[in-house]
């Protein structure tokens, strides 16, 4: 790329939602379809130049996103964003919706400038066919009051390595969790958690551990022991990806306009 074209490049944020069941996560995979791959392909097609996006995070295979952001750069100003979104919609990308595009400051980074991310894990308590593939069905008694109480122990800044996927490439296991709670909604039980960052598999491992406490398979004080151990094998099993949703990503006020 010439220096002139490099200096001409403009940065845009794109807002998406997608159904993870159809893809092997957000990030590009050599031998499997990813959300990033199809987004880059369609943006390159409609903008008529090679586009490479960088996402706000890395969702694993089968994980869904109701609110996902990525940034990309182009040498051509997008003068009619609604028309571009219409073109993208007309391509009918399976399981992916292009929700908005906004030009941003060239220094704004989709991953590093995100202040917080919120995930929900959705558990079906009834065999509702309309929730299949979008929830984890779980039968049996759960002590929800106890699970809510124990979840507060997650709050704060600490090492969450015990809930991280083995051999993760993360430079640090330190995260700051600001919210962790359970909600009953119709036939669903929803665990909602907000943090500045998440480790790979972290939410699913936390939920698996809390469910074992709620089933009385672990003592109520076991969550602290697990966190202090830093050992993945001490935590509960990871619940299936089908119930996990990225629901909100927060950036500094005024970063973009959708």
CATH architecture designation of domain 3-112 = 2-Layer Sandwich (3.30)
Task: State residue 170 phi and psi, 5-degree precision.
Answer: -65, 140
pLDDT at 212: 97
- The answer, yes or no, to whether residue 1 has pLDDT greater than 70, is no
Decide: 143 and 216 in contact? Cβ < 8 Å: yes
Query: Residue 205 half-sphere exposure, CB side, CA atoms within 13 Å?
Result: 22
Matching fold, domains 3-112 and 116-248: yes
For the chain, what's the residue count?
Answer: 258
Tell me the per-residue pLDDT of 133-183, one tens digit each, with 9 for 90 and over: 999 999 999 999 999 999 999 999 999 999 998 766 678 999 999 999 999
Question: What are the domain boundaries of the chain?
Answer: 3-112, 116-248
Q: Which of 60, 80, 186, 222 is catalytic?
A: 60
Question: Which residue(s) pair with 69 in the sheet?
Answer: 15
Picking from 59, 67, 109, the residue whose alpha carbon sits closest to that of residue 248 is 67
> Is 196 part of the annotated catalytic residue set?
no
pLDDT at 235: 95
**Token pair of 39, please?**
């987004």
Domain 116-248 part of CATH 3.30.70.660? yes
pLDDT at 4: 44
Cα separation, 213 vs 217, in Å, equals: 6
Tell me the per-residue pLDDT of 27-57, one tens digit each, with 9 for 90 and over: 998 889 999 999 999 999 999 999 999 999 9
pLDDT at 168: 62
């Amino acid at each position: 790329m010439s220096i002139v074209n490099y200096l001409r490049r403009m940065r845009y944020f794109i807002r998406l939602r997608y159904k993870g069941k159809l893809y092997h996560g957000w990030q590009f995979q050599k031998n499997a379809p990813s959300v990033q791959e199809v987004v880059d392909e369609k943006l390159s097609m409609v903008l008529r130049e090679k586009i490479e996006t960088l996402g706000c995070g890395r969702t694993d295979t089968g994980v869904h996103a109701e609110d996902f952001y990525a940034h990309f750069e182009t040498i051509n100003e997008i003068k009619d964003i609604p028309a571009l979104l219409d073109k993208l919609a007309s391509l009918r990308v399976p399981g992916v919706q292009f929700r908005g595009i906004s030009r941003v400051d060239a220094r704004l980074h989709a991953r590093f400038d995100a202040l917080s991310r919120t995930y929900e894990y959705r558990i079906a308590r009834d065999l509702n066919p309309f929730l299949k593939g979008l929830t984890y069905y779980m039968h049996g008694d759960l002590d929800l009051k106890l699970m809510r109480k124990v979840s507060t122990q997650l709050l704060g800044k600490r090492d969450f390595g015990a809930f991280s996927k083995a051999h993760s490439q993360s430079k640090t296991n330190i995260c700051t969790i600001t919210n962790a709670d359970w909600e009953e909604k119709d036939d669903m039980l929803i665990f909602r958690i907000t943090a500045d960052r998440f480790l790979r598999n972290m939410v699913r491992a936390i939920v698996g551990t809390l469910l074992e406490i709620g089933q009385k398979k672990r003592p109520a004080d076991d969550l602290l022991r697990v966190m202090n151990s830093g050992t993945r094998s001490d935590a509960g099993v990871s619940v299936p990806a089908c119930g996990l949703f990225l629901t909100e990503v927060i950036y500094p006020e005024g970063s973009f306009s959708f």
